[in-house]
Amino acid sequence: MLQRRTVLIAGLAAATPAYATTAVPLPPSLDELSGLPLQTLDGADTTLGQHLGPGPAVISFWASWCAPCVEEAMHLSTVRHRYDEARLNIIGLNVELIAANDEGVRRFLDRTRPTYKQLRADMSTYQAFGGAAQLNLPRLFVFDATGRPTAAFGAPDAPAVNRAIAQVVS
């Protein structure tokens, strides 16, 4: 009985992505998400796929009112300095509860000075990534070069995010 339980636990551990936070489900593949409608920060319509180059990707959901999002944005700027755009796509997706919070977004961007692509999303985009009806931020997802999700985070965890990214960047 003990041996069977050990095998079952080991099998479950092997099936779980190494750095996925259990509270945050992995989203669909980037192929399924690439057509999601987004906006640039100046209001132009776009899609996620228009901003993804070949290779692995990190997608981070944030809002101007989210204190932990500040830490995560600053960390992702550090990651951008480590891996250029040709090796790693990094996209921040702003999801505001108030549609026209331009001032809050501007203050957040002035404070964090992100060095990676920033776009605007809505709740339907957040939900397409597996988010619940209630907005819980930050959310960060790591995808390998084929667009398969490999990790999901619901709180800033720089060491774990760094390990997850290192695994997908060749």
Q: Is the dihedral of CA 148, 163, 160, 10 positive or negative?
A: positive
Q: How confident is the model at residue 18 (pLDDT cuts 50, 70, 90)?
A: very low
Q: How confident is the model at residue 100 (pLDDT cuts 50, 70, 90)?
A: low
Between CA 52 and CA 90 the distance in angstroms is 8
Predicted TM-score (pTM) of this structure: 0.83
Upper half-sphere CA count for residue 132 (Cβ side, 13 Å) = 9
State percent of the chain over pLDDT 70.
Answer: 85
- Mean pLDDT confidence for 155-164: 95
The class of domain 20-168 in CATH terms is alpha beta
Residue 13 in this model has a pLDDT that exceeds 70 = no
Helix and strand counts by DSSP (H, E) for the chain: 6, 7
Smallest CA-to-CA distance from 140 within 24, 2, 8, 50 is with 24
Strands 139-143, 57-62: pairing kind: antiparallel
Q: What is the pLDDT of residue 101?
A: 80
Look over the chain and give the mean of its residue pLDDT values, rounded to a whole number.
Answer: 86
Q: How confident is the model at residue 15 (pLDDT cuts 50, 70, 90)?
A: very low
Between CA 73 and CA 147 the distance in angstroms is 22
* All structural domains of the chain with their residue ranges: 20-168
Q: Kindly report which listed range (1-10, 15-24, 42-51) carries the lowest average pLDDT score.
A: 1-10
Between CA 98 and CA 16 the distance in angstroms is 36
What single DSSP character describes residue 49?
G
- Mean pLDDT confidence for 81-98: 92
Q: What is the pLDDT of residue 23?
A: 74
What residue spans of 16-157 are helical by DSSP H? 30-33, 67-82, 102-112, 123-128
Helix/strand/coil for 106: helix
Residue with the two structure tokens 């060095």: 115
- Mean pLDDT confidence for 27-46: 94
Residue 10 in this model has a pLDDT that exceeds 50 = no
- CA 111, 113, 119 angle in degrees (round to 5)? 105
pLDDT in tens, 65-85: 999 999 999 999 999 999 999
Q: How confident is the model at residue 99 (pLDDT cuts 50, 70, 90)?
A: low
